[in-house]
Structures are given as C-alpha cells and as structure tokens.
C-alpha cells in the first residue's frame, strides 16, 4: 500500500515556494553587498558557506594570491567559516594588526576549534579558550620563559639523543615524519603533562592528537563519517585521559610528591573563587590544547627542513660544520647549553628560510571590536580579520628571488615580512620552546646522518597545517662523529 503525505499540487507548491525563497535570498544578499560599496573589494561567494571550501581544501598561497591580484594587493573581503572576513595583506597589514591588538582586534578561533577546545569556564560555553588564559597559564610560573627553558634544555637534549638511539640508529629506511612526530609528542607530553620518557600513554596521546589535528580547521559537522566527527571523538577521549591524569597528580601531590610541569601548576593554581579552573574537565580542556599545539607544527617544520637539506648538500655541509664545531668544544657526554644554542645562527637562519618557502602554519584570525577604516575601506564591528604569512613570504619586494633558498636573508630580515610566530602582544608564547626543539633535533641529526629523500615529489596534505602525504620516507646514511 502506498502512503502519500502530500498531494501533487502541494508538493509542487512547496518546491516552488522553496525555490523562490532561495532565489530571493541570493538576490537580496548580492544586492545588499553591492550597495555597501565602502567594504573592501572581493566576493563573499556562496550563501552561508562563502569561500570556506576553497580556503580549507585548496592551496592557501593560491587562494590568497589570486584574490590579491584580482581585487587588491592590500585588502580584500571573503567569507570563510560563515563569517564575513577582511584579509589584510603584506607588510602594512601585518604591522597594522600587530599595532592594534586589543585596541581594534581580539583573537578569534574558527568554529571547529571552538567546538574541539570549548572553554566551559567562560560565560559562553561554545567559546574557545582565550589566548590570554593560555598565555597566563604557561607564563605565570615561567615555564616558557627563556630562563626556565635554559633549565629544561639539558633534559631535552637527553631525550632527543635517546630518541635517535631507539628509533634511528641501525635503521636503513625510516618514515621520518612519523618519527619526528613521535619525538615532538614525547617532549610535549613530558613538558606539559609531566610524563616520563617511557610512559605508554605518550603513544596514545600522539594518536589522539593526530586525530584532532586533521579536524582543527574543518567544517564543524558532527555526524559519523566526517573529519570533524573523528576529531571530536579524539578530543573527548584526550580530555578524559587528562582528567584521569589530573586525579593521579592530585593524589601524588597530597602525599607530598613534587612535580614540575604545566599541568601540575594548573592544578595547584586552580582558584574556584576566581571563576577559573573549577573542575578537572576545565583543566583538561586547556592542557589538551597545549599538548596539541606543542608538537604538530615543529614536526611539520622539521620534515620540510630535512627535505630541503637533502636537496641542498651545500647548505647541509654548512649546518653540519657549525654543529660539529659546537660538538668538538664539548667534553664527552656533556649536554648542550644555552651558549651552544646561541652559536647555531646559520642553522636557525636556514630553518627560518625553509619555513618562509613552505610555512608550517599559514595565518590567524582576529575579530573587529569596532568599526574601523583601513586603506579607505570600512571594516565593520564583528567582521573577522585574517592575516597570512603568504602575503609577504613569496613577495619579491620583501624577498628577492623568493623561490630561492638563501639562509643569509635572515641575518637582517626586513620587519613585518616574516611572521610565522605572530608578533607584538600576540607573538606565540611557545616560540622559544619550538626553536629549542628544532635546533637540538637538527644538532643531533646532522652529527649522525646524511639522508636521501625517497619520495621527492611527495605532496603536502592540508593547507592550514600541512603534513607530508606519504610520511616523508628517507634512506639513512650513518656518519662517524
């Protein structure tokens, strides 16, 4: 027996009404935008989603570059994540945003990040954890200040040496990105959560972090089969793991055991009266965000650096000479110290130059706190503002012959041309931590190995946080030290 809930005329009328409504919406939407001629040039794209798909899944450099050519090299409008967005380009754009943090702008996180790292201690439970909170937590005890990192440097060197002994020595072929990911995950888990080197939970945290990373910048559609659904499950699982760890740490502290890590500091400094960190869930949310941010980007950056060093033996030789000179000044078994790090200038300049060519992180969002004018155009309150490293990294006015790898550029880099760690009030609090991880890793790597890239045409997948599509397989050649 056939069931019919609507007659044919009713179906026709319903479909016709829906089609007319959509047409009117699109017509009014575009007519309204035409009248607002003082907005920056650009295109909002499709209703609701705008140009989100191209932004997330296309080539970030091409997305920005094409619109700079078509509309304006200084500022253009688009719509991503369902939000009207002004993209401020070039040196002037970087400088303007840096100079007006907390005056015209506040940090804004895409909706996917808000939902993965929601902050239940805020009035709006869907809001992401404010950067101020993250900075205060990591800097209050001095964990990421230079003086604190100096004390942690020797431990970091020891852990990286152990990593090479366990996972690289005696191997002919390795999946380098996987190993660097494991190494940065171990350091991050030790530094932020207090895990010991051989704690089996490190591997679990690395897998969960991988699952979260792919969904950090995605359509926040939480239904089975979507990238965001898998990321959300991983985020919930990590939060539960950290809550269990918090209970363990509370028990250890109550018995008089002292621990030195950021999670322990958060537990000790929790202050329900001040409305912050009232529960294990709230602490777990913030510490999960810290762990993920602490190892994904350095692993990607190191993989890209290794690829370029394999292609440029002349630069590899200069880096190895610099590192061997440092090593020759050390006693047998003596660990790296702060003075050694300061001598690694060419190595760090090379790292910066590689990150200029292939950025491990593309940019960030702000939200306009009030209407303001930029380059003669009005940016309304509530609009999102995006800055991108790609607007200067490949600009020949900033970097002549931009596709050429030339580490000496960074002996005197022009201001506001290279901002992979942000700048001003919003400079990444983990910048110095990431620098140490990368330099200590490269020091131990070039002392022990040369390598051949086995997939030279390997694509980087993902645009906001790219990673090698095949895991960066390499052939190792051990060296005598």
Q: What is the pLDDT of residue 124?
A: 39
What is the spatial distance between Cα 128 and Cα 116, in angstroms, rounded to a whole number? 8
DSSP code string of 436-452? HHHHHHHHHHHHHEEEE
What is the spatial distance between Cα 24 and Cα 17, in angstroms, rounded to a whole number? 11
Q: Which is nearest to 309 in space by CA: 407, 393, 174, 398?
A: 407
Percent helix, strand and coil across the chain, each to the nearest 5: 55, 10, 35
Q: What is the pLDDT of residue 21?
A: 60
What is the spatial distance between Cα 479 and Cα 238, in angstroms, rounded to a whole number? 40
Q: Which is nearest to 354 in space by CA: 306, 286, 294, 293?
A: 306
Domain ranges in the chain are 42-478
Q: What is the pLDDT of residue 198?
A: 75
Query: How far from 63 is each of 52, 77, 373, CA to CA, in Å?
Result: 11, 12, 24
- Phi/psi for 208 (5° steps) reads -65, -40
What is the spatial distance between Cα 170 and Cα 451, in angstroms, rounded to a whole number? 13
β-pairing, 173-175 vs 460-461, is unpaired
**Look-up: residue for tokens 């910066």?**
352
* Torsion angle in degrees (nearest 10) through CA of 29, 33, 36, 38: 160
**Look-up: residue for tokens 């018995």?**
255
Strand residue runs (E) in 144-203: 173-175
Kindly give the confidence (pLDDT) of every residue in the chain, 481 residues in length, as a single tens digit, with 9 standing for 90 and above.
333 434 454 454 455 566 656 665 565 555 555 445 689 999 999 888 899 888 888 788 889 999 999 999 999 999 999 999 999 999 999 999 989 988 999 888 888 888 887 654 343 333 444 444 444 444 444 445 666 677 788 889 999 999 999 999 999 999 999 898 888 888 888 888 888 767 888 888 878 887 887 777 788 888 888 888 998 998 889 888 888 888 888 888 888 887 777 787 777 766 544 445 456 777 777 777 777 776 777 888 899 999 999 999 999 999 999 999 999 999 998 999 999 999 999 999 999 999 999 887 788 899 999 999 999 999 999 999 999 888 999 899 999 999 999 999 998 888 888 877 665 555 565 678 888 999 999 999 999 999 999 988 888 776 566 778 888 999 999 987 6
The domain defined by 42-478 carries CATH number 1.10.630.10: yes
Q: Which residues neighbour 329 within 8 Å (Cβ) at sequence distance 6 or greater?
A: none
Q: What is the pLDDT of residue 243?
A: 86
What is the spatial distance between Cα 348 and Cα 341, in angstroms, rounded to a whole number? 9
β-pairing, 372-374 vs 377-379, is antiparallel
């Amino acid at each position: 027996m056939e069931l019919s809930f609507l007659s044919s005329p009713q179906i026709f009328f319903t479909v016709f009404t829906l089609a007319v409504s959509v047409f009117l919406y699109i017509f009014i939407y575009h007519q309204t935008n035409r009248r607002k001629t003082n907005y920056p040039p650009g295109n909002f794209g499709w209703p609701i989603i705008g140009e989100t798909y191209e932004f997330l899944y296309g080539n970030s450099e091409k997305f920005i570059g094409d619109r700079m050519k078509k509309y304006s090299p200084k500022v253009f409008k688009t719509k991503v994540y369902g939000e009207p967005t002004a993209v401020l380009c070039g040196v002037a754009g970087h400088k303007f945003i840096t100079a007006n943090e907390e005056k015209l702008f506040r940090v804004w996180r895409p909706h996917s990040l808000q939902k993965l790292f929601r902050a239940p201690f805020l009035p709006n439970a869907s809001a992401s954890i404010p950067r101020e909170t993250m900075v205060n937590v990591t800097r209050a005890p001095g964990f990421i200040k230079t003086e604190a990192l100096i004390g942690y440097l020797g431990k970091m060197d020891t852990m990286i040496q152990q990593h090479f002994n366990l996972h690289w020595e005696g191997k002919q072929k390795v999946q380098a990105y996987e190993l660097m990911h494991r190494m940065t995950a171990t350091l991050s888990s030790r530094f932020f959560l207090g895990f010991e080197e051989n704690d089996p939970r490190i591997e679990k945290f690395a897998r969960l972090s991988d699952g979260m990373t792919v969904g950090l910048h995605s359509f926040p559609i939480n239904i089975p089969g979507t990238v965001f659904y898998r990321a959300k499950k991983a985020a919930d699982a990590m939060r539960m793991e950290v809550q269990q760890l918090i209970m363990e740490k509370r028990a250890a502290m109550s018995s008089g055991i002292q621990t030195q890590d950021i999670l322990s500091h958060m537990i000790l400094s929790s202050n329900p009266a001040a409305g912050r960190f009232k529960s294990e869930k709230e602490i777990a949310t913030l510490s999960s965000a810290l762990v993920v941010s602490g190892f994904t980007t350095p692993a990607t950056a190191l993989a890209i650096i290794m690829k370029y060093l394999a292609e440029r033996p002349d630069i590899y030789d200069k880096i190895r000479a610099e590192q061997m000179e440092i090593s020759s000044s050390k006693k047998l078994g003596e660990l790296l110290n702060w003075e050694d790090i300061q001598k690694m200038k060419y190595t760090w300049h090379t790292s910066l130059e590689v990150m200029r060519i292939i950025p491990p992180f593309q940019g960030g969002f702000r939200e306009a706190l009030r209407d303001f004018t930029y380059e003669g155009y009005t940016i309304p309150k509530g609009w999102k503002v995006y800055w991108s490293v790609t607007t200067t990294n490949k600009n020949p006015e900033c970097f002549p012959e931009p596709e050429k790898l030339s580490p000496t550029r960074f002996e005197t880099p022009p201001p506001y041309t290279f901002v992979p760690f942000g700048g001003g009030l919003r400079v990444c609090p983990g910048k110095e931590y990431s620098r140490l991880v990368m330099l200590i890793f490269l020091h131990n790597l070039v002392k022990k190995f040369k390598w051949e890239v086995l997939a030279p045409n390997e694509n980087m997948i993902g645009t906001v946080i790219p990673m090698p599509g095949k895991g960066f397989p390499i052939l190792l050649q051990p060296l005598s030290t």
